[in-house]
C-alpha cells in the first residue's frame, strides 16, 4: 500500500511522519503548481470550490509517482468539504484511475467508519507504536505552528527581503527530518536561533493585519498566492486566525468528547450570527470582532469563490466592520495565477490602514478637524519597500 | 523651476503628467499602450519633454498602474504606488471634499470611498471585466461607432432599450437581439450605458455607501452617456474632473511631490532614457520546485532590475532603486 493525501500548507510534514511511523509507505504529492491546478480544474465540476479541484490535481500527480491509496478526511457539512471524498472518488473512477480511498469520517458522524479507516492504516503497528507515531506527528505539527507564529513579526521587520522565508524553509526541513520528539524539540530551538539571527530594520512600528477565512485558503500558500509572505514582505505583521493544531484540538478532540473551547467565538459572533454555518464562517466574524477590540489595524478575509460558509461571513462583515470600526478586505480566490492583482489590493488596503493609524496617532480622536496634516503622513512603503 | 512627473502605465493607456510646485499642470500626455509598455514610456517621455518649457527640472518622479514597477525602473522613480491609492490621492487633490470616486479604466473598474480626504474603503472588479472601457470599445466597434461619439449619441435617446447588464457576454447577445428588432442606434447606446452602470453598481460598488460629492474618472468618464446614466441611477450629481483620463498619473505626481520636498535628490534618470535601449528577458529559475519566472530588465546593456523570484535569489543581487 502506497498512501498519498492532499496538500494543505505544511500538513504533509506531520501526516508523512504519522504514516511512516505506522509502517505505511507514503507518497507525498509534488508541491502544488500551476500544473496541479490545471489538472484539477480539467476534471472537477466547474462550480466546485477550489480546494476540491486542487485535491484532484494532487491525487493525479501522486498517482504518477506510484501512489495506489488516498487518505482523505470526511465531514458532516454544511460545508461542501463533507462531500469531497465521495465526489473525488466518483471523478477518479470515471477517469478509470484505480486509486483506493481511505476516508476518515469525523466521529460526529459515525465511530464505526472512523475506526474502519484507522484500522487499515494501523494494521502493522502495535498500540504502543500507534501512540508513539501520534505523539511524534503531534509534536511536529505543534512545532511548525509555533514557528509560523514566531516568524510573522520577524518577517515584517526583516532588513533584507526573503531572509525570513529562507530560514522558514530550513526550519520546515529540519522538523521534517526529526525522527523522535526530542529531535523535534532540538529542531525547534535551532529554528528559533535561525530566526533570531535575521538582521532586522531599526525599531519599527509595523501594521498588524488579521487573516481570517476558510482554512484551506489560509493555510495553502500556493492557493492564496502567498498572501502571508506578500503582507510580511510589505512590512506588515500577520496575525493568522487559524492554526492547524488548534483546529485539531477543537474539532477532532474536544468536539468528539462533546466538550467545547469555542464558546467565546459563539458569544462574540452572536449579535450577527448565532448558528454554525460550516467551515470557519462563524469564526471569520468572531475573529474580526476580537481583532478590532485588540487594536489590530485591519482584517483580510480570504475564501475560495463559491465557498458557502464564507459567503455568509462576507455578507455580514461590512456591518461588523462599521460597528467595530475596523477595515475589512475580502478576497475571493479562484484559479488566479497573477500575484500582481492581489498585491495591488493588499498594498492599497495597507495604505489606508497606515493613513488611519497616522491620523489616530496625530489627533487622538476620531473626528479630527485638521485632516490635512494627517493626510501628509503617509509612511507605508508597500511593495517598493525592498 | 521644480516640477514633478507622474506616470501611469496602464494596460490600455500610458499617461504622463508634469505638476509644478504649486499644483499647476504643465504637461499632460495620453498615449495608448498598445501592448508595448516600454515603447509607450519612451514615447511619452519624448513628448513630455517637448511640451515642457526649458527652465523646468524634474525633482521627483512617481509611477503607478499595472506596469508601475517596470516604469519605475525605466525612469528611476522616487515612489512606486498602486493605482487605487494614486486615484484616491488625485481625487482628493482635485476636489478636497470628495467622498466617492467611481473609476472605470481600460481593464479594471474600482470604487474608492473617502472621508476627510482619506481613503477609508475601496473595491475593485475581480472575476469579471464587464463594464470596463475595453468592453465599451468593443461594443462601439460592433455598432460601427467611433468611441468618442458613443456618449453624445446616447444622450440623444428618449427611449432607452433595456439590456441585461449582469454579464458582458449576455449583454452583447442581448444588444444584438435588440439591434435585430430594429431599435435605433441611440436607444441601444443609452441602454448599454445604463446596463454598464447597473453592472458596476451591483458588482463593484456592492455594499458601499455612496455619498456626494461623487467624482467619475478614468478613460470611460469621457463618455457623457455613462455620466448621465450614473446620475440617473444614483439620483445625485456626478462630477467629471478635467484631468479625468490621467488621474492616476496626477496622483503619482502628487505623491512624488510629497515624497521629495525635503529629500535632496531625485532618482530620475533624465529624459535621455527615451533614447535608451531597453531589453526584457524572461527565464525560468530551476533552483527549487517553485520554478519562478524571473524577469530581467536591461537598459543600455546594464541589468537594472530582476523580479518574479519568490526567494529573492535573483532580485537581491541588484538593489532596487525605488526603495
DSSP A248-269: IIIIIIITTTT--S-HHHHHHH
In this complex, the residue of A161, A165, A344 whose CB is nearest that of residue B84 is A344
Q: Are residues B180 and B262 in the same domain?
A: no
Mean pLDDT computed over A315-335: 90
User: DSSP letters along A302-333, please?
Assistant: EEETT-HHHHHHHHHHHHHHHHHT--EEEEEE
The ipTM value here is 0.79
Q: Are residues B127 and B211 in the same domain?
A: yes
Residue B118 to residue A161, Cβ atoms within 8 A: no
Grid look-up 494614486 returns B86
Does residue A339 belong to the interface with chain B, where contact is any CB pair within 8 Å?
A: no
Nearest Cα of chain A lies from the Cα of B191 at a distance, in angstroms, of 30
Grid look-up 501520534 returns A134
When scoring A173, A344, A368, A381 by the number of chain B Cβ atoms within 10 A, the one with the most, hence best to mutate, is: A344
Q: Is the pLDDT of residue B271 over 80?
A: yes
Is residue A142 within 8 A of residue A112, CB to CB? The reply is no
Q: Where are the beta strands (DSSP E) in chain B?
A: 2-9, 13-20, 25-32, 57-64, 79-80, 100-104, 109-115, 118-124, 214-217, 238-239, 278-284, 293-299, 302-307
Helix (H) / strand (E) containing A101: strand A100-104
Sheet arrangement for strand A236-240: A236-240, A207-213, A298-304, A328-333
B123 domain-assigned: yes
Does residue A340 belong to the interface with chain B, where contact is any CB pair within 8 Å?
A: yes
Choice between B135 and B29, residue whose per-residue pLDDT is larger: B29
**pLDDT value of position A316:** 94
In CATH terms, A2-125 corresponds, of 1.20.120, 3.40.50, 3.30.390, 3.90.105, to: 3.40.50
Q: Are residues B206 and B229 in the same domain?
A: yes
Q: Are residues B271 and B284 in the same domain?
A: no
Does residue A66 belong to the interface with chain B, where contact is any CB pair within 8 Å?
A: no
Does residue A176 belong to the interface with chain B, where contact is any CB pair within 8 Å?
A: no
Residue B291 to residue A33, Cβ atoms within 8 A: yes
Grid look-up 495591488 returns A344
Distance from C-alpha of A323 to C-alpha of A289, rounded to nearest angstrom: 9
Where along chain A do its domains lie? 2-125, 137-204, 206-385
B120 domain-assigned: yes
Number of domains in chain B: 3
In this complex, the residue of B80, B311, B313 whose CB is nearest that of residue A384 is B80
Nearest Cα of chain A lies from the Cα of B16 at a distance, in angstroms, of 20
Is residue A144 within 8 A of residue A172, CB to CB? The reply is yes
B52 domain-assigned: yes
> What average pLDDT does chain A have?
86
* Alpha carbon distances (Å) from A238 to A9, A264, A338, B121: 16, 22, 21, 20
Q: Is the pLDDT of residue A109 over 60?
A: no
Give the residue ranges of DSSP H helices in chain A: 12-21, 34-43, 50-64, 81-94, 111-122, 127-157, 163-177, 181-197, 215-219, 227-233, 244-247, 263-269, 281-293, 308-324, 339-363, 371-375
Q: Is the pLDDT of residue A325 over 70?
A: yes
Interval A70-99: pLDDT, tens:
998 887 778 888 888 889 999 999 999 888
Mean pLDDT computed over A98-112: 76
B204 lies in which domain range? 96-240
Report the range of poorest mean pLDDT among A106-110, A178-182, A311-315, B123-127: A106-110
**pLDDT value of position B322:** 39
User: Which residues in A lie closer than 8 A to residue B258 (C-beta atoms)?
Assistant: 376, 378
Nearest Cα of chain B lies from the Cα of A185 at a distance, in angstroms, of 27
Nearest Cα of chain B lies from the Cα of A96 at a distance, in angstroms, of 29
**pLDDT value of position B15:** 93
Measured between alpha carbons, how far apart are the two ends of chain B, in Å?
A: 26
Does residue A375 belong to the interface with chain B, where contact is any CB pair within 8 Å?
A: yes
User: Which residues in B lie closer than 8 A to residue A303 (C-beta atoms)?
Assistant: none
**pLDDT value of position B129:** 60
In this complex, the residue of B69, B121, B322 whose CB is nearest that of residue A327 is B121
Which of B215, B240, B265 delimits the end of a domain?
A: B240
Does residue A348 belong to the interface with chain B, where contact is any CB pair within 8 Å?
A: yes
Nearest Cα of chain B lies from the Cα of A315 at a distance, in angstroms, of 9
Distance from C-alpha of A255 to C-alpha of A143, rounded to nearest angstrom: 23
**pLDDT value of position B302:** 81
Distance, CA of A377 to chain centre: 34
Residue A385 to residue B323, Cβ atoms within 8 A: yes
Mean pLDDT computed over B7-31: 89
Cα three-residue angle B248-B250-B255, rounded to 5 degrees: 95
A:B CB pairs within 8 Å: 96
B322 domain-assigned: no
pLDDT band (50, 70, 90) for residue B132? confident
Sheet arrangement for strand A2-4: A25-26, A2-4, A69-73, A100-104
Residue B289 to residue A30, Cβ atoms within 8 A: yes
Mean pLDDT computed over B139-167: 85
Contacts of B19-24 with CB under 8 Å at 24 or more apart are: B19/B250, B19/B253, B19/B254, B19/B257, B21/B257, B23/B93
pLDDT band (50, 70, 90) for residue A115? confident
Interval B273-302: pLDDT, tens:
888 888 888 888 887 766 777 888 888 878
**B107: closest chain A residue by CA:** A341
Q: Are residues B166 and B208 in the same domain?
A: yes
The grid coordinates listed for A198 are 535575521
Q: Is the pLDDT of residue A63 over 90?
A: yes
Distance from C-alpha of B271 to C-alpha of A164, rounded to nearest angstrom: 39
Distance from C-alpha of B171 to C-alpha of B160, rounded to nearest angstrom: 14
User: 10 Å Cβ neighbour count for A323?
Assistant: 12
In CATH terms, A206-385 corresponds, of 3.40.50.300, 3.40.50.360, 3.40.50.920, 3.40.50.11900, to: 3.40.50.11900
Distance from C-alpha of A304 to C-alpha of A51, rounded to nearest angstrom: 8
B214 domain-assigned: yes
Q: Are residues B231 and B139 in the same domain?
A: yes
Interval A209-263: pLDDT, tens:
999 999 999 999 988 888 999 899 888 999 999 898 888 887 777 777 777 777 8
Which of B240, B267, B290 delimits the end of a domain?
A: B240
Nearest Cα of chain B lies from the Cα of A68 at a distance, in angstroms, of 24
> What average pLDDT does chain B have?
85
Q: What percent of chain A has pLDDT over 70?
A: 90
pLDDT band (50, 70, 90) for residue A373? very low
pLDDT band (50, 70, 90) for residue B126? low
Q: Are residues B230 and B160 in the same domain?
A: yes
Measured between alpha carbons, how far apart are the two ends of chain A, in Å?
A: 48
When scoring B107, B118, B203 by the number of chain A Cβ atoms within 10 A, the one with the most, hence best to mutate, is: B118
**Which of residues 146 through 185 in chain B touch A, CB cutoff 8 A?**
none
**B257: closest chain A residue by CA:** A376
Q: Are residues B144 and B227 in the same domain?
A: yes
Distance from C-alpha of A56 to C-alpha of A163, rounded to nearest angstrom: 33
**pLDDT value of position B173:** 83
pLDDT band (50, 70, 90) for residue A59? very high
Q: Are residues B25 and B118 in the same domain?
A: no
**pLDDT value of position B175:** 83
**pLDDT value of position A385:** 43
pLDDT band (50, 70, 90) for residue B128? low
Distance, CA of A307 to chain centre: 15
The grid coordinates listed for B154 are 446616447
Mean pLDDT computed over B121-127: 78
Mean pLDDT computed over B96-122: 87
Q: Are residues B135 and B35 in the same domain?
A: no
Q: Are residues B110 and B128 in the same domain?
A: yes
Residue A318 to residue B322, Cβ atoms within 8 A: no
The single-letter DSSP state of residue B95 is: S
Give residue A286's region: left, alpha or beta (phi > 0; psi -120 to 50).
alpha
pLDDT band (50, 70, 90) for residue B323? very low
In this complex, the residue of B122, B315, B322 whose CB is nearest that of residue A348 is B122
User: DSSP letters along A266-316, please?
Assistant: HHHHTTT--S--STTHHHHHHHHHHHHHTT--EEEEEEETT-HHHHHHHHH
**pLDDT value of position B107:** 76
**pLDDT value of position A371:** 47
Domains A2-125 and A206-385 share a fold: yes
User: Which three-class secondary structure state does DSSP give residue B16?
Assistant: strand
Interval B177-211: pLDDT, tens:
888 888 888 898 899 899 889 888 888 888 788 99
Does residue A221 belong to the interface with chain B, where contact is any CB pair within 8 Å?
A: no
The residue among B215, B223, B224 whose CA lies nearest residue B250 is B215
Does residue A377 belong to the interface with chain B, where contact is any CB pair within 8 Å?
A: no
Interval A20-37: pLDDT, tens:
998 899 999 999 988 898
Q: Is the pLDDT of residue B255 over 50?
A: yes
User: Which residues in B lie closer than 8 A to residue A332 (C-beta atoms)?
Assistant: 126-127
Q: Are residues B162 and B207 in the same domain?
A: yes
Q: Is the pLDDT of residue B232 over 60?
A: yes
Distance from C-alpha of B15 to C-alpha of B33, rounded to nearest angstrom: 9
Distance from C-alpha of B217 to C-alpha of B87, rounded to nearest angstrom: 9
**pLDDT value of position A107:** 65
In this complex, the residue of A160, A347, A375 whose CB is nearest that of residue B118 is A375
Q: What percent of chain B has pLDDT over 90?
A: 25
Q: Is the pLDDT of residue B121 over 50?
A: yes
User: DSSP letters along B112-137, please?
Assistant: EEEETTEEEEEEE--S--TTSHHHHH
**pLDDT value of position A380:** 55
CATH code, B177? 3.30.420.40
User: 10 Å Cβ neighbour count for A120?
Assistant: 14
**A230: closest chain B residue by CA:** B310
Residue A345 to residue B323, Cβ atoms within 8 A: no
Choice between A337 and A120, residue whose per-residue pLDDT is larger: A120
Q: Is the pLDDT of residue A40 over 70?
A: yes
The residue among B64, B84, B52 whose CA lies nearest residue B8 is B64
| The pairing of beta strand A25-26 with beta strand A2-4 | parallel
User: 10 Å Cβ neighbour count for A193?
Assistant: 10
Amino acid at each position: 500500500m502506497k498512501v498519498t493525501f492532499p496538500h494543505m500548507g505544511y500538513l504533509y510534514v506531520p501526516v508523512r511522519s504519522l504514516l511512516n511511523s505506522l509502517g505505511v509507505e507514503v507518497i507525498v504529492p509534488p508541491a502544488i503548481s500551476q500544473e496541479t491546478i490545471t489538472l484539477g480544474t480539467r476534471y472537477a465540476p466547474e462550480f466546485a470550490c477550489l480546494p476540491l479541484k486542487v485535491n484532484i490535481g494532487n491525487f493525479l500527480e501522486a498517482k504518477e509517482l506510484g501512489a495506489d491509496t488516498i487518505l482523505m478526511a470526511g465531514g458532516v457539512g454544511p460545508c461542501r468539504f463533507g462531500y469531497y471524498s465521495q465526489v473525488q472518488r466518483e471523478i477518479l473512477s470515471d477517469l478509470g484511475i484505480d486509486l483506493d480511498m481511505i476516508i476518515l469520517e469525523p466521529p460526529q458522524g459515525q465511530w464505526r467508519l472512523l475506526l474502519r479507516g484507522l484500522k487499515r492504516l494501523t494494521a502493522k503497528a502495535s498500540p504502543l507504536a500507534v501512540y508513539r507515531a501520534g505523539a511524534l506527528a503531534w509534536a511536529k505539527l505543534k512545532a511548525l505552528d509555533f514557528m509560523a507564529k514566531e516568524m510573522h513579526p520577524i518577517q515584517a521587520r526583516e532588513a533584507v527581503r526573503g531572509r525570513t522565508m529562507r530560514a522558514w524553509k530550513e526550519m520546515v526541513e529540519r522538523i521534517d527530518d526529526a525522527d523522535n520528539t526530542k529531535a523535534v524539540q532540538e529542531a525547534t530551538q535551532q529554528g528559533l536561533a535561525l530566526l533570531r539571527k535575521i538582521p532586522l530594520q531599526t525599531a519599527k512600528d509595523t501594521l498588524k493585519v488579521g487573516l481570517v477565512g476558510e482554512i484551506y485558503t489560509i493555510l495553502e500558500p500556493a492557493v492564496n498566492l502567498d498572501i502571508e509572505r506578500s503582507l510580511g514582505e510589505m512590512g506588515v505583521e500577520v496575525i493568522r486566525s487559524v492554526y492547524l493544531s488548534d483546529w485539531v484540538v477543537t474539532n477532532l478532540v474536544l468536539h468528539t468528547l462533546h466538550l467545547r473551547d469555542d464558546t467565546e467565538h459563539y458569544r462574540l459572533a452572536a449579535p450577527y450570527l448565532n448558528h454554525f454555518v460550516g467551515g470557519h464562517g462563524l469564526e471569520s466574524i468572531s475573529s474580526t470582532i476580537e481583532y478590532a477590540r485588540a487594536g489590530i489595524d485591519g482584517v483580510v478575509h480570504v475564501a475560495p469563490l463559491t465557498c458557502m460558509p464564507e459567503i455568509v461571513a462576507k455578507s455580514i462583515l461590512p456591518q461588523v466592520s462599521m460597528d467595530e470600526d475596523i477595515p475589512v478586505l475580502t478576497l475571493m480566490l479562484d484559479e488566479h495565477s497573477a500575484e500582481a492583482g492581489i498585491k495591488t489590493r493588499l498594498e492599497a488596503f495597507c495604505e489606508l490602514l497606515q493613513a488611519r493609524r497616522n491620523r489616530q496617532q496625530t489627533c487622538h480622536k476620531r473626528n479630527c478637524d485638521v485632516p490635512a496634516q494627517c493626510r501628509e503622513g503617509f509612511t507605508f512603503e508597500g511593495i517598493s519597500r525592498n | 523651476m521644480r516640477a514633478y512627473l507622474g506616470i501611469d502605465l496602464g494596460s490600455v493607456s500610458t499617461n504622463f503628467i508634469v505638476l509644478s510646485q504649486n499644483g499647476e499642470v504643465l504637461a499632460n500626455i495620453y498615449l495608448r499602450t498598445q501592448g508595448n509598455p516600454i515603447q509607450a514610456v519612451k514615447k511619452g517621455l519624448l513628448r513630455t519633454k517637448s511640451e515642457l518649457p526649458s527652465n523646468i527640472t524634474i525633482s521627483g518622479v512617481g509611477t503607478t498602474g499595472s506596469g508601475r514597477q517596470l516604469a519605475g525602473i525605466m525612469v528611476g522613480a522616487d515612489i512606486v504606488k498602486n493605482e487605487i491609492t494614486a486615484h484616491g490621492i488625485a481625487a482628493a487633490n482635485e476636489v478636497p471634499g470628495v467622498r466617492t470616486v467611481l473609476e472605470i479604466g481600460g481593464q479594471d473598474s474600482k470604487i474608492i470611498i473617502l472621508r476627510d480626504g482619506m481613503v477609508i474603503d475601496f473595491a475593485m472588479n475581480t472575476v469579471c471585466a464587464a463594464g470596463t472601457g475595453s468592453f465599451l470599445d468593443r461594443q462601439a466597434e460592433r455598432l460601427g461607432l467611433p468611441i468618442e461619439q458613443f456618449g453624445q449619441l446616447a444622450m440623444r435617446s428618449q427611449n432607452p432599450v433595456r439590456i441585461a447588464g449582469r454579464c458582458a457576454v449576455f449583454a452583447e447577445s442581448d444588444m444584438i437581439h435588440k439591434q435585430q428588432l430594429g431599435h435605433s442606434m441611440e436607444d441601444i447606446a443609452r441602454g448599454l450605458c445604463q446596463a454598464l452602470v447597473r453592472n458596476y453598481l451591483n458588482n463593484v460598488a456592492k455594499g458601499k455607501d455612496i455619498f456626494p460629492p461623487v467624482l467619475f474618472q478614468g478613460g470611460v468618464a469621457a463618455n457623457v452617456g455613462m455620466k448621465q446614466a450614473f446620475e440617473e441611477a444614483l439620483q445625485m450629481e456626478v462630477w467629471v474632473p478635467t484631468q479625468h483620463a490621467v488621474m492616476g498619473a496626477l496622483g503619482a505626481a502628487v505623491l512624488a511631490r510629497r515624497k521629495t520636498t525635503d529629500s535632496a535628490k531625485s532618482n530620475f534618470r533624465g529624459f535621455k532614457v527615451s533614447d535608451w535601449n531597453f531589453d526584457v528577458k524572461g527565464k525560468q529559475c530551476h533552483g527549487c520546485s517553485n520554478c519562478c519566472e524571473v524577469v530581467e530588465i536591461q537598459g543600455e546593456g546594464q541589468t537594472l532590475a530582476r523580479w518574479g523570484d519568490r526567494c529573492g535569489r535573483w532580485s537581491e543581487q541588484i538593489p532596487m532603486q525605488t526603495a
